[in-house]
Structure 1
Amino acid sequence: MNVAVVFLVILDLLVVYGSHFRGGTVEFKYSLSWAHGRGHAPSWKAVNLKDNTTFNVGSGNYSVVANNSAENWERGEATFIYNFPTKGPYRIRFTGGAWISLGYGSGGSWNIQTIVDLNNRSDTHNPNYSPSTFSRAIYRVQYGCKIRIQIPVIDVDGDTVRCRWSTSTEAASISKLLPNAVLNEASSTFQKKCLIEFSAVPGSNYTLNKWYAVALTMDDYPRSTINIDGKVYTPKHSYYKCTFAGKFWGE
Structure 2
Amino acid sequence: MSLSLLLLLLPICSAQATSFYGTVMTYYPKNTYADGSVTVVLRYKLSFSTCQENASWTCSSGDCGNESSLVLNIVDQESSGEWCQREGTMTRQVPSNAPFQLVLDGNSWIDNVQNISGWSAETLVELRNRSDIGRANTSPQTTILPDLRVPSNCQRDFNLLAFDPDGDEVRCRFGNVTISSCTLSFIPVANSFEGAYVQQLVMEDFPRQNITLTQTDGSQTIITPNEAISKIPVQFALRVDPAVPSCTAGLYLPKFLPPTPANRAQLYTSVNQTLEINISAEADFYTISELLFSGPHNIVQTTSGTGQYTLRWTPSEQEDGESHPICFVVQAVSNSTKYQSELRCVIVSVGNATILPTTTPVVTTSITIPTTQSTTITITMPTTTTPQTTMTIPATTTPLTSTSTTPTTASPPPVTTPEDTTAITNISNPFVGILRMKLSSSSPLSEDYIRSTVMQQIRDELVRRGLPLNVIVRLLSSVQQ
Per the normalisation by structure 1, the TM-score is: 0.76
C-alpha contact 1:113 1:244 (8 A) present in aligned 2 = no
Report whether the alignment pairs 1:44 with 2:32.
no
Q: Amino acid of the residue matched to residue 193 of structure 2?
A: Y
CA distance change for structure 1 residues 159 and 195 in 2, over 3 Å: closer, same or farther?
same
Report whether the alignment pairs 1:96 with 2:109.
no
Q: C-alpha offsets along residues 12-39 of structure 1, whole Å, 9 cap, x if unaligned?
A: 21212336352211111111211124x3
Give the match's secondary structure for 1:154. Answer: coil
CA distance change for structure 1 residues 227 and 164 in 2, over 3 Å: closer, same or farther?
same
Match of 2:239 in 1: 249
What CA distance in whole angstroms lies between the structure 1 residues aligned with 2:117 and 2:233?
A: 17
Q: C-alpha offsets along residues 39-79 of structure 1, whole Å, 9 cap, x if unaligned?
A: 33121112334xxx788848987322221263621111121
Residue in structure 1 matching 2:25, options 5, 8, 11: 11
Give the match's secondary structure for 1:211. Answer: strand
Match of 1:198 in 2: 186
Report whether the alignment pairs 1:152 with 2:161.
yes
Cα deviation for residue 154 of structure 1 reads 1.0
Match of 1:24 in 2: 38
Give the match's secondary structure for 2:130. Answer: coil
CA distance change for structure 1 residues 61 and 112 in 2, over 3 Å: closer, same or farther?
farther
Q: Amino acid of the residue matched to residue 162 of structure 2?
A: V
Cα deviation for residue 83 of structure 1 reads 1.2
C-alpha contact 2:24 2:233 (8 A) present in aligned 1 = no
Higher helix fraction (1 or 2): 2
C-alpha contact 2:27 2:139 (8 A) present in aligned 1 = yes
Cα deviation for residue 200 of structure 1 reads 4.2
Give the match's secondary structure for 1:130. Answer: coil
Match of 1:170 in 2: none
Residues 1-251 of structure 1 correspond to what in structure 2 (within 5 A)?
8-18=22-32, 20-37=34-51, 39-49=52-62, 57=67, 62-68=72-78, 70=80, 72-103=82-113, 105-166=114-175, 185=180, 193-202=181-190, 206-207=193-194, 210-229=195-214, 230-251=220-241
Give the match's secondary structure for 2:203. Answer: strand
Cα deviation for residue 10 of structure 1 reads 3.0
Gaps of 5+ in 2: 1-19, 215-219, 242-481
Q: C-alpha offsets along residues 71-118 of structure 1, whole Å, 9 cap, x if unaligned?
A: 621111121211112222101111111111212x22221111211122
Cα deviation for residue 8 of structure 1 reads 2.7
What CA distance in whole angstroms lies between the structure 2 residues aligned with 1:59 and 1:246?
A: 26
Match of 2:330 in 1: none
CA distance change for structure 1 residues 102 and 138 in 2, over 3 Å: closer, same or farther?
closer
How much identity, in percent, do the aligned residues show?
A: 25
- Larger Rg: 1 or 2? 2
Aligned length in residues? 217
What CA distance in whole angstroms lies between the structure 1 residues aligned with 2:187 and 2:81?
A: 22
What CA distance in whole angstroms lies between the structure 1 residues aligned with 2:122 and 2:30?
A: 20
What CA distance in whole angstroms lies between the structure 1 residues aligned with 2:70 and 2:156?
A: 32
Q: Amino acid of the residue matched to residue 241 of structure 1?
A: K
CA distance change for structure 1 residues 163 and 184 in 2, over 3 Å: closer, same or farther?
closer
Segment of structure 1 superposing worse, 9-18 or 227-236: 9-18
C-alpha contact 1:13 1:28 (8 A) present in aligned 2 = yes
CA distance change for structure 1 residues 23 and 54 in 2, over 3 Å: closer, same or farther?
closer
What CA distance in whole angstroms lies between the structure 1 residues aligned with 2:79 and 2:69?
A: 24
What CA distance in whole angstroms lies between the structure 1 residues aligned with 2:131 and 2:165?
A: 16
Per the normalisation by structure 2, the TM-score is: 0.41
Cα deviation for residue 11 of structure 1 reads 1.9
Give the match's secondary structure for 2:32. Answer: coil
